[in-house]
Chains A and B, each alone.
Chain A
Amino acid sequence: MSSVAERLLRKAGITPGMTNPQSNLGRAFRRQGVKKTSEFERIASLPRRDWNVDAEELAAHLTAEFAKPATSCKRDCVCRGRGTMALRPVQAAALADIHDYGGMFGPISVGGGKTLFSFLAPGVCEVERAMVVVPANLRQKTDNDWWKLAVHWKLKPISIESYERLGRASNAQLLENRQPDLLVFDEGHLLKNTKAACTRRVARYLQARNQQGNPCRVAIMSGTLTTKSIREYWHLLRWTLGAQLMPLPTHWPEMMEWADAVDAKSQSAIRMAPGVLAELCNAEEKKAIEYGGDGELEAVRAGFARRLIETPGVIATTSQQYGGSLRITMEDVPALDKLAPHYARLRDDWQTPDGWDFSEAVERWRHARELVCGFYNVWDPRPPTEWMMKRKRWHQFVRETLKHTHLHDSEFQVATACARGTLSSCVDVIELGRQREADVYREWVAIRDTFKPNAVPVWIDDSTLKLAAAWLSKNDGICWVEHPCFGEKLARMTGLPYHGRKGLDQHGKLIDDATGPRIASILANSTGRNLQFAWSKSLVVSCPPNGKVIEQLLGRMHRDGQEADEVHYHFVIACMEQLEGFHKMLSEAEYIEGSTKQPQKLLFADRDIPSLDRLGSMVGPRWGV
């Protein structure tokens, strides 16, 4: 930035970050691009390396060190009957980094071997107190895996905890009491939310250890560390690599400038120009930046991604760990045309079929997916009239506010602003022919907790249930469901097991130990489960439109150990919101792959899904026509 601009900003008492990004001034700053600072110079001068170099040799060395002698094993052993196991290069490189740098940041593909790394890290780091943190629904499986792998590897005892347990109030001092010297976070994207109790407790513990001069080693891994923004893993880089080694600015405002230039969606919808980030790019990328247009963003991301993954302490897989064929197809459910009036009400009136109001687009998408499954949720019992009225008024206020402001993205943010007094919710309300002023937020808050909604599904159609049942009768595969009520009803209809919470079916059997066609909850089973040995086909009835979820879901079967020639995921896409949602996942996958070089299965797959352009030719109320 020019010294004159800096002086004028000081005189004005503002910073570039304080300017409205939509204003001429805000736009002018964004056009200037990311500034060159001492932090950028620190990052640009960090050493670069390719962890693949010598990784095979290292894997052989560490295998010799930590693998137990060969034994005779059956096919269902974790070694698949070979009697012995070997480390993969990515696992060896990750172990070397946690040892050498005291931390490891691992955007490692789904199926990349993170579990064994977690168990070997304590031995490599020679620590006695190690804790591995996993999602609650994988805690039992992780414990099982430890015992299975201990047959072939010299493993130190570890404690296994879950993010959910770390987040409970009763466990607020768990880390302080146990004092782990090594923390390994598998599915580390669950630490993304800096306001979550679990994340805050981890941050507090790590800070205390640093202040004592006795830092805790930290490894964070996930096949889906980010979907939209470098903000999601900024603090994770700081925890694993520290302020000196992390390849992102340590100051939040400066990091936000980088995020505005690189992210999937700029905070203000007006992207920051690359500015000094162009210096991270190669000659071809610099030309693309100069030329401008769509190629500019791709080029900036490529330059940034390279800086990230070449940083010592970062282990990123840049090729599919398993290269088998992956096919994605879709199926419509034409019989759902009879639900046309419900779709019209959803989109035009922002109401569910029974007249309930909602205020955010994400809710519209959610209700559209429910209708595809043949039901919608109602509250039973119904709330009092006054409660409904004040809720409706509040939602109308939120909708109008979200439409006209760039500062808030959700109902929660609007409510917070009203509570703090930075946004007034006083509006004119006409009741019974009289006009009065009402503080819409305070009136809603005063009555909100007097009624607790109890959502109950109301079934209006069984076309999708029948489709799923028919598929299960013909395919030895898994029918993935988003809604437990759909899964349970389908299970009753077909007599097949439904694996819900913790991956258990109604008889207490874990999905990892099962075979044959069955039904599985996406939420409970899309992460951490090795399903490639028993299945290669999936029907996905409804999937939340999230790039991370889809990457994890595809990775359940498309991973090392899959013996089928082709893994096939067949999606039910029966409304505009589902098609748009699928393309949203595609665009998130493009961002992830572009900015972290982590290959995304969704992009790798052969896809037979209509483009968004074809939406215009898809006739019927379910498609918005």
Chain B
Amino acid sequence: MGFFGGIGAAKVGAGGIYFLANRAADHTPEKPHWLPALYRVKIKSITTMNSRKKDDLFIVEAVIVTSNCPDRPAGTKASWVVNLKQDAALGNIKGFLAAVNGIDPGNEEAVNAEVTEAVCELAVSKEQPLTDEEVMLECTMIETRAGKPFTLHRWSPVSAAA
């Protein structure tokens, strides 16, 4: 087999485009100033995979329907990746699945009753029942305890935005 013998099976990479917060007018790399970005996105796929570092990942791929972030205009394909080794991972996934199913993530009782293990498995199943569902996303930039920038994703139902 030649150097590119496996190319037939290879998928074209999306280049790992992620959601961003908005840069304020006075934002500089040395003195960052971020503002929340608000999106309306349409789900294209929800999957799980094992990374090269053997981490379990939960991946949402979506198309931006509306955006107030010039760096991520409408029509852009973007992903949200959650590493399940993070403490907050399952809670974040739960919040996302609640929102995309029209449930307020802040309503703990409703979330716990409705977002079950079966719902999570259904979401990532080959049937992909959440394809083309729309959900609101607010991205804000925060600093982690280690001092590194981190994009916080807050999901909410489209019905709440209306």
Contacts and interface: CB of A to CB of B under 8 A. Distances in A.
A32 B120 CA distance: 13
B148 to A, nearest CB: 32
Interface string B119-138: 11111010111100000000
Nearest to A12: B127
B101 A4 contact: yes
B45 to A, nearest CB: 14
Interface residues of B, number: 19
A356 B113 CA distance: 58
B158 to A, nearest CB: 15
B125 A12 contact: yes
Contacts of A23: 121
B30 interface: no
A3 B125 CA distance: 18
B159 interface: no
A31 B119 CA distance: 12
B119 A8 contact: yes
A25 B121 contact: yes
Contact of A2 (B116, B128, B130): B116
B127 A2 contact: no
A5 interface: yes
A25 B118 CA distance: 6
A2 B121 contact: no
Given A4-B101, A4-B103, A7-B101, A12 B122 contact: yes
A9 interface: yes
B82 interface: no
B127 A5 contact: no
Contacts of B125: 12, 25
Contacts of A14: 127
Given A8-B129, A12-B127, A2 B114 contact: yes
A28 B117 contact: yes
A311 to B, nearest CB: 32
A29 B114 CA distance: 14
Contact of B113 (A2, A8, A28): A2
B115 interface: yes
Given A24-B121, A25-B122, A11 B116 contact: no
Given A11-B129, A12-B127, A14-B127, A5 B113 contact: no
Given A12-B122, A25-B122, A32 B117 contact: yes
Contacts of B115: 2, 4
A544 to B, nearest CB: 41
Nearest to A32: B118
B120 to A, nearest CB: 7
Interface of A: 1-5, 7-9, 11-14, 16, 23-25, 28-29, 31-32
Interface of B: 97, 101, 103, 113-123, 125, 127-130
Given A5-B118, A25-B118, 6 more contacts: A2-B115, A3-B114, A8-B101, A12-B128, A28-B118, A32-B116
29 contacts: A2-B114, A2-B115, A2-B116, A2-B119, A3-B114, A4-B97, A4-B101, A4-B103, A4-B115, A5-B116, A5-B122, A8-B119, A8-B123, A8-B130, A11-B127, A11-B130, A12-B127, A12-B128, A13-B127, A16-B118, A23-B121, A25-B118, A25-B125, A28-B116, A28-B117, A29-B118, A31-B117, A32-B116, A32-B118
Closest 7 CB pairs of A and B: A12-B127, A11-B129, A25-B121, A12-B129, A28-B121, A8-B129, A28-B118
